[in-house]
Amino acid sequence: MKQSTLFPKTRKEAPKDAESINHKLLVRAGFIDQLMAGSWTLLPLGWRVVTKINQIIREEMNAIGGQEMLMPLLHPKEIWKETGRWDKAEEILYKLKDTRDKEYALSFTHEEIVMDLLRKNITSYQDLPVYVYHFSTKFRNEPRARSGILRGREFMMKDLYSAHTSEEDLMKYYEIVMGAYSKVFNRLGFNFRITEAAGGVFTDKYTHEFQVLSDTGEDEILYCDSCDWSQNKEIFSGDRGNPCQKCGKGKIIQAKSIEVGNIFPLGKWYAEKMGVNFTGEDGSKKPVWFGSYGIGPTRVLGTLVEVNHDDKGIIWKKEVAPFDVHLLDIRTRDKAQSAKKIDDSLQNEGIEVLWDDRDVSAGEKFAEADLIGIPVRLVISEKTGDKIEWKERISDKAELLTLDEIISKLHNGD
Ligand code: ATP
Ligand code: MG
């Protein structure tokens, strides 16, 4: 893509009210725009990254049998009354009335909707288990929406739901989802801890949060420096000075973190409230066992920036970068022809190119390339001759390579 056509242009200054790093850098580099507190547009660059994050999540959900679908966002009041969450979740639930005084909720999650689907479609144990998920918007009336795109009042979530004939089957799948989530967050390059936590308005039972270690995080966790034990500070009741209660050796570290995922073994509560039953092998009617599992792709976008940046701008990992390479033509004469050829050849190889074809100074092009943060920068200048300069965003070292060498380097991923 030609950078001269990219919407919008980058900005020199961050918005005055921006407090967090992801807010400042993502807005300056042209990835997101704030409509009002907690409400964001994913601009073309931001949408490219979120699409890649979603694809990683989708692959891992499909690998554990998840079936993708799409549920509505406008829900009738009655369905939320069935579980009592119309009142229980009042603080975060957006409620609205139409001109005929009918009341609705804007979705803050979808357990009730999935339960209704199961109620209409499940009769016997042979219809279970069910694994369904979707990517969609969630609305929550968040009291503090100050951490940039980490906390929206309207944000994107991938939520998976599973229904089972027994607690044993639910817990077996819960472990499988935990593994799939770990794969997602490893592919995203996060340093994370799977952390025991409370269930909020979802369940009285424990849940597991996926917490990315980051000094800018709003959450605090305690974790063992030698085994996998970790608890959210909200539920921790031990003594910080003592060795780890699980392995007996490790030291307990307290650290700030960002919650990027949360899984909930919800049990029978929802099925009992909503009358979602199946006929067992023995002929008796039983409530289904239920679990839900969420990841916030837009929060992941912001978290990637919080943990991968420097004073010049964002540093994308190649798995989620908006483009594979940033091609900068900084010649003042003989322009365009050979850059276009390079752009075409790379694209023919399936490589995504952002080609800075604009008439601006070399200094400006370099600064913007660092701000946008595409992992590989390719420069053609008066000095590069028939070669091209290759420089990675994470390194200061540049080297001169032929186009063929560049293509094979990009394909081999080294
Ligand atoms: P928090 O404690 O940060 O408010 P939560 O525990 O209420 O989040 P969950 O209901 O567990 O959130 O939602 C599942 C996932 O959705 C979270 O792990 C996070 O990635 C994402 N998420 C939740 N709230 C928001 C939000 N306001 N903005 C963006 N992403 C969010
Ligand atoms: Mg949570």
Whole-number Å distance, alpha carbon 267 to ligand 1 midpoint, is: 21
Per-residue pLDDT at 332: 77
Hey, which of 85, 262, 304 would you mutate to test ligand 1's pocket, going by the most ligand atoms within 8 Å of its Cβ? 262
pLDDT digits (tens, 9 = 90+) for 310-368: 999 999 999 999 999 999 999 876 665 689 999 999 999 999 999 999 999 999 999 99
One-letter amino acid of 250: G
Q: Which atom of ligand 1 is nearest to the CA of 300?
A: 20
Cβ contact 365:332 at 8 Å? no
Torsion of CA 187, 188, 190, 193, to 10 degrees: -60
Q: Is 46's C-beta closer than 6 angstroms to any atom of ligand 1?
A: no
Question: Atom 8 of ligand 1 has which residue's CA nearest to it?
Answer: 259
Per-residue pLDDT at 144: 80
Hey, which of 151, 208, 266, 304 would you mutate to test ligand 1's pocket, going by the most ligand atoms within 8 Å of its Cβ? 151
Give the angle subtended at the CA of 49 by the CAs of 301 and 143, to the nearest 5°: 30
pLDDT digits (tens, 9 = 90+) for 246-287: 999 999 999 999 999 999 999 999 999 999 999 999 999 999
**For residue 15, cis peptide bond before it (omega within 30 degrees of 0):** no
* Ramachandran area for residue 101 (φ above 0: left; ψ -120 to 50: alpha; else beta): left
SS3 content of the chain, % helix, strand, coil (to 5): 30, 30, 40
All domains of the chain, ordered by start, with CATH?
8-310 (3.30.930.10), 325-412 (3.40.50.800)
Per-residue pLDDT at 334: 62
Low-confidence ranges of the chain (pLDDT < 50): none
Residues 6+ apart with CB under 8 A from 350: none
